[in-house]
């Protein structure tokens, strides 16, 4: 199961529950032309759960994106700190920024995950598949910038190091590639929570190759559902 944009946890009361992740999951389905919202209680085993923190860079080329990132970062940090304490694997994925973490235990952990062969080739980017997926409710050809005037899409404006407000510890992992999927397979992880400031672009389309090996329809429907919720 893949969950995108989850941001809350529930107070746990016993030792056994301290190794679990409990929350209320909300999904939205279109049935007979009606928008149906469902809410269910979910409890996951911590050791079978990972969090992917997607593109929480220090600075984006889009000023609005940078502001959203800075605003979300402290809450993301509180959330992943609580999950880390329960034994959940935290995977930091600042795309193209992993070079800043070379020779760290976090980077080594990802590099050492044994490669896994997949039936569906792992790709760097998964564009909308119009043969099976409906059109997006917005025009995203501006790459998500809603500033006036538009920000220059200049990579020189970016700082691809992960924002400092999200703590990184030696027990975490850092990657921006299929290594994330290899790590999950290595650990028997079946539940993935994706966090990030650009779920409309990065989490949905990149997802660091993991979506190819997990349930693609489930992944995409979740991500698209949350494009406008996060």
Residue numbers of the site for Zn ion (CB under 5 A)? 62, 64, 145, 147, 151
**Cα–Cα separations (whole angstroms), residue 106 to 22, 119, 129, 172, 179:** 26, 28, 33, 5, 12
- Shortest approach of Zn ion to residue 151 CB, angstroms? 3
Q: How far apart are alpha carbons 210 and 197 in whole angstroms?
A: 18
What 128-134 contacts at long range (C-beta under 8 Å, 24+ apart), as own/partner pairs, is 132/217, 133/220, 133/224
Write down the least CB distance from residue 158 to Zn ion, Å.
12
194 sits in which H/E element:
strand 191-196
CB-nearer residue toward Zn ion: 142 or 218: 142
Q: How far is the CB of 59 from Zn ion (least distance, A)?
A: 12
Residue among 145 and 165 whose Cβ is closer to Zn ion: 145
Q: How far is the CB of 220 from Zn ion (least distance, A)?
A: 25
Which residue number, 56 or 151, has a Cβ lying nearer to Zn ion? 151
Choice between 49 and 66, CB closer to Zn ion: 66
Indicate the pairing of strand 191-196 with strand 34-45.
Answer: unpaired
């Amino acid at each position: 199961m893949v969950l995108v944009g989850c941001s809350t946890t529930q107070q746990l009361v016993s030792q056994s529950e301290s190794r679990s992740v409990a929350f209320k999951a909300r999904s939205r389905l279109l049935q007979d032309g009606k928008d149906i919202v469902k809410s269910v209680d979910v409890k996951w085993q911590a050791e079978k759960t990972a969090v992917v923190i997607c593109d929480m860079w220090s600075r984006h080329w889009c000023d609005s994106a940078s502001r959203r990132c800075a605003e979300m970062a402290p809450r993301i940090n509180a959330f992943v700190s609580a999950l880390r304490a329960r034994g959940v694997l935290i995977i930091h994925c600042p795309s193209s920024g992993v070079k800043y973490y070379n020779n760290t235990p976090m980077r080594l952990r990802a590099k050492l995950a044994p490669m896994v062969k997949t039936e569906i080739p792992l790709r760097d980017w998964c564009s909308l598949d119009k043969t099976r997926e409906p059109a997006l409710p917005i025009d995203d050809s501006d790459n998500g910038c809603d500033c006036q005037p538009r920000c220059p899409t200049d990579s020189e404006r970016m700082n691809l190091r992960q924002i400092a407000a999200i703590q990184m510890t030696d027990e975490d992992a850092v990657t921006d590639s299929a290594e994330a999927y290899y790590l999950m397979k290595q650990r028997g992880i079946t539940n993935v929570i994706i966090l990030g400031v650009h779920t409309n672009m990065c989490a949905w389309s990149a997802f660091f190759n993991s979506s190819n090996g997990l349930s693609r329809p489930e992944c995409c429907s979740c991500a698209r559902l949350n494009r406008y919720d996060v």
